[in-house]
Amino acid sequence: MDERPVDGGGAPELTVVVPTFNERGNVAVLAGRLAAALAGRRWEAIFVDDDSPDGTAEAVRALASGDPRIRCIRRIGRRGLAGACIEGMLAAQAPIVAVIDADLQHDETVLPAMLARIDGGADIVVATRYAGGGDASSFDAARGAMSRAATMAARLLLKVPSSDPMSGFFMLRRSVVESVAPKLSTQGFKILLDILASVPPGLTVAEVPYSFGVRTSGASKLDNRVMVDFLGLLLSKATGGAISMRFVSFAAVGGLGLVVHLAALRLALGAGSPFTTAQTLATVIAMTFNFFMNNALTYRDRRLSGWRLIPGLLTFYVVCGFGAFANIGVGSWVFIETDRWWVAGLAGSVVGAVWNYLSSTTLVWRTRP
């Protein structure tokens, strides 16, 4: 084990990154727990806050005014747990970085054991709920089943060397983060899975069991977006990045939009509207639905709000209009060449979807300086 000074000044040996959003009631408690768990160690904690409206950043700064080991990064116009973790890890001063949630469900008392595994030669240490005495019994039935299914899918498709690749509690060498950072997605919630699927072979991955706790303050951030993000990450990594997470979300929204379109068309026809009128109305309704769903899910890190929604929606209408022309044009050409309607329909749909995605990313939800 490395010789480490336990007292005095000097650079920290461990940086603990804590992504936060509306966790004001937990930050002081977590800081106190970290101080107790890491007594005798040189450490720092970086709270990366996504501009929480409940004043989380202010609470962290109040702590930092009395404890120089506490730091705060407040992100404006950028959201997402993965992106927050990446920014925090890259801002670390220590050669070893841990990531832990602010909801107090991760057991900070296992941090010394994780650090010992790094000292013993491990490059990444996963705090696992599913091996060696780990426990996830605090999950309700639905979340437990979803977690186990996602873990099985990740291990099967991506061959990641961990019993709990979906864990949000882990430790690694900062050099590992720096080497894979350009490959990581800032979207989604499963940053550990992304890291494990991106690192080169040969790194040592160790595990330390822990019991997943019960949230006592604040609200869970998990919702249906997590599953969409997870599926997108799986496809992205399984295809070597050929299919992006954002495109998977965009395509999923498009599938829901098709259902909305057909439902609106049926209702309009049932009300006695001519087909052309009903089809036009259904198209506008579906495009409007897709715009707001993409704004909330696919592009939530670039989310439009206030007056910017109006020009954004109008631009989206124009983009989708050109996408429809591309769909029809390509489909017609393929049908003439192959005489297979389903091939023509599929080709037109793919070209239209790719056009809509690229144009929406560039024109509607473009990155602003």
Domain boundaries, the chain: 14-221, 245-364
Q: Which residue has the higher pLDDT, 66 or 326?
A: 66
**Identity of the amino acid at 110:** V
Return the pLDDT at 95: 97
What band does 218 get if pLDDT is binned at 50, 70 and 90?
low
pLDDT above 50 (res 1): no
Q: Does the domain spanning 14-221 belong to CATH 3.30.365.10?
A: no
Answer yes or no: pTM beyond 0.75. no
The token pair at 296 is 């909330």
Compute the distance between CA of residue 247 and CA of residue 253 in angstroms, rounded to an integer.
10
Decide: helix, strand or coil at residue 3.
coil
Rounded to 10 deg, the angle between the 191-198 and 81-90 helix axes is 60
Return the pLDDT at 84: 94
Secondary-structure percent of the chain, ordered helix, strand, coil, rounded to 5: 55, 10, 35
What band does 171 get if pLDDT is binned at 50, 70 and 90?
very high
Compute the distance between CA of residue 70 and CA of residue 40 in angstroms, rounded to an integer.
16
Return the pLDDT at 277: 84
For residues 217, 81, 198, 169, the Cα torsion angle rounded to the nearest 10 degrees is -20
Mean pLDDT (whole number) for 205-229: 73
Return the pLDDT at 135: 85
29-76 confidence digits (pLDDT tens) = 999 999 999 999 999 999 999 999 999 999 999 999 999 999 999 998
Return the pLDDT at 215: 64
Compute the distance between CA of residue 168 and CA of residue 180 in angstroms, rounded to an integer.
18
Mean pLDDT (whole number) for 122-136: 90
Q: Which residue has the higher pLDDT, 95 or 218?
A: 95
Contact 169, 106 (CB under 8 A): yes
What band does 110 get if pLDDT is binned at 50, 70 and 90?
very high
Compute the distance between CA of residue 10 and CA of residue 14 in angstroms, rounded to an integer.
12
What band does 119 get if pLDDT is binned at 50, 70 and 90?
very high
Return the pLDDT at 5: 37
Compute the distance between CA of residue 142 and CA of residue 231 in angstroms, rounded to an integer.
18
According to the 3-state scheme, what is the secondary structure of 212-279? CCCCCCCCCCCCHHHHHHHHHHHHHHHCCCCCCHHHHHHHHHHHHHHHHHHHHHHHHHHCCCCHHHHH
